[in-house]
Homo-oligomer: A and B are copies of this chain.
């Protein structure tokens, strides 16, 4: 199976659009003919983890479910491409056993022993390389940890208590006055406060790390959201590593997502259609118990008692809602989130770079890199991240991507980039960006708006999750929340 999404590049084949993916669904629909299907209990728009979870929970609950997905695959912003049996993660990757919704599902599917570590500090160049435009310094990983820890603790120590007072309970639906204030500050504001406290190396590390997390620029990203991540990660640097970049699926994210889809399908309650972007969601007047009509861009129309809209904030405007969304929701969609992460995988000759981590900033296009695996050919697999800062389009400028990887290694290293694999999230019309990271004030002004239902339409997306907002965990939580809300809303109304 293959998806039209994603790109791969090798010297011999050049750039190719579309990559293998076990999350690409065949056949693309199990709807035979519109007329056969009648009404659905719930129509779910979007097959990212929020939509998939909603589809699964609703199917299990005996609801007649229709899933409409714009792409040819499940997973939304989290999907993997298996190339020669080796998974490259195109978006959301890492999971951890203290991420509640993710782990609940991993345990439920008995996948608890299917994780592996991205890091392997036992091979080849076992160093942390810290480069700016002037020079490259080399450190041990122990020195890297010490430097990052000190630097990040200065950043989050807004309260003299390492952020524990500022964000005491990262799963709350409420934001305190202090939290609202931090949300109106940018990362640049906070770093500017610390300008006399951070050493030059600490400042490099902090700026690169928060750009890794936000995919934005320092001037456009909320300080609060980073404090919230820090709180979710147990207020420790070790926590950041464990939760954010350490454990991934041996079989790739799509090996996890497909479990949700298959479980839903096995109930017999799921109809689905891929490659069916939705154009409009209308609430129908005068139908007892309520009804919605969902129209695809291709002009097909489906009726349901309820709808769950599980598309990202940045593409909510792709859908025409009737009646129109609340002013708060529209304002949130219009502001959008600011993550324009550029994530690129490279297979590079030999294992010598397997154990490297690197920051190249502020001059470089790929700011943060780490060894992420060893390919079947025995080469090192490096994953690298760029942001809105120095943003570029790797599909338009492969040479720049290759160069960015070359810049990773010490000059004397003979580095040959054999393969690139990536997804251009910024040009993806169904995402318009990577994982959610808010501009200042968006959460303060609109978190509740984003979470609110709109008549018979419910909204499920990691972008407005409590807790692990922006993460796969938050997406699963939101999908479950939406189905609880739909079930409650349908109780007592006439059934089909």
- Chain A residues with CB under 8 Å of chain B are 60-62, 97-104, 107-110, 112-113, 170-174, 234, 239, 266-267, 466-467, 477, 480-481, 484, 491
A174 surroundings in chain B (CB, below 8 A):
113
Docked Cα-Cα span, A19 to B62, in Å, equals: 39
Please, which residues of chain B bring their CB within 8 A of the CB of A100? 97-104, 107
The secondary-structure label for the interface of chain A is loop
Contact B112 A466 (CB under 8 A): yes
Given contacts A104-B480, A108-B480, 12 further A-B contacts (CB under 8 A): A61-B267, A97-B171, A100-B100, A100-B103, A100-B104, A100-B107, A103-B467, A107-B477, A109-B484, A112-B173, A112-B466, A112-B467
For residue A467, which residues in chain B have a CB less than 8 angstroms away from its CB? Answer: 97, 103, 107, 112
Distance in Å: Cβ of A438 to nearest Cβ of chain B: 20
15 contacts between A and B (CB under 8 A): A61-B62, A62-B62, A97-B170, A97-B171, A98-B100, A98-B234, A99-B100, A100-B101, A101-B103, A101-B104, A101-B107, A103-B171, A113-B173, A113-B174, A234-B234
Q: Is the CB of B172 within 8 A of A107?
A: no
A171 to B491, CA, bound (A): 37
Chain B: which residue is nearest A104 at the CB level?
Answer: B104
Q: Is the CB of A107 within 8 A of B481?
A: yes
Interface centre among A110, A171, A491 (most CB of B within 10 A): A171
A239 to B235, CA, bound (A): 12
Q: A104 to chain B: which residues have CB within 8 Å?
A: 100-101, 104, 477, 480
Contacts of A173 in B (CB 8 A): 112-113
How many whole Å from A242's CB to the nearest CB in chain B?
8
List 9 A-B pairs, minimum CB-CB distance, nearest first.
Answer: A98-B98, A100-B103, A100-B100, A104-B104, A62-B62, A112-B171, A97-B171, A100-B104, A60-B61
A101 to B101, CA, bound (A): 7
Contacts of A266 on B, CB cut-off 8 Å? 491
Inside 8 A of A171's CB, which chain B residues have their CB? Answer: 97, 103, 107, 112
Known contacts A97-B467, A103-B171, A172-B113: A108-B481 contact under CB 8 Å: yes
Residues in chain B near residue A110, CB distance under 8 A: 481, 484
A96 to chain B, nearest CB (A): 9
CA of A99 to CA of B99, assembled, Å: 8
Cβ–Cβ < 8 Å partners of A108 in chain B = 477, 480-481, 484
Q: Which residue of B lies closest to A107 (CB)?
A: B477
* Cα distance, A250 to B172, chains bound together (Å): 15
Q: Note all chain B residues with C-beta closer than 8 A to A239.
A: 234
- The residues of B that contact A480 with a CB separation of less than 8 Å are 104, 107-108
CB distance from A115 to the nearest CB of B (A): 8
In the bound complex, what is the Cα–Cα distance between A171 and B484 (angstroms)? 28
Q: Which chain B positions have C-beta within 8 A of A101?
A: 100, 103-104, 107
- Please report the C-alpha to C-alpha distance between residue A494 and residue B436 in the assembled complex, in whole angstroms: 46
Contacting residues, chain B, for A481 (C-beta < 8 A)? 107-108, 110
Chain B residues near A267 (CB-CB < 8 A): 61
Instruction: Determine the residue in chain B with the shortest Cβ distance to A476.
Output: B104
Instruction: Tell me, rounded to whole Å, the shortest Cβ–Cβ distance linking A269 to chain B.
Output: 9
Given known contacts A101-B104, A104-B480, A107-B481, A172 and B112 CB-to-CB distance under 8 angstroms: yes
In the complex, residue of chain B having the shortest beta-carbon distance to the beta carbon of A108: B480
Chain B residues, Cβ within 8 Å of A491? 266
CA A98 to CA B468, docked complex, whole Å:
11
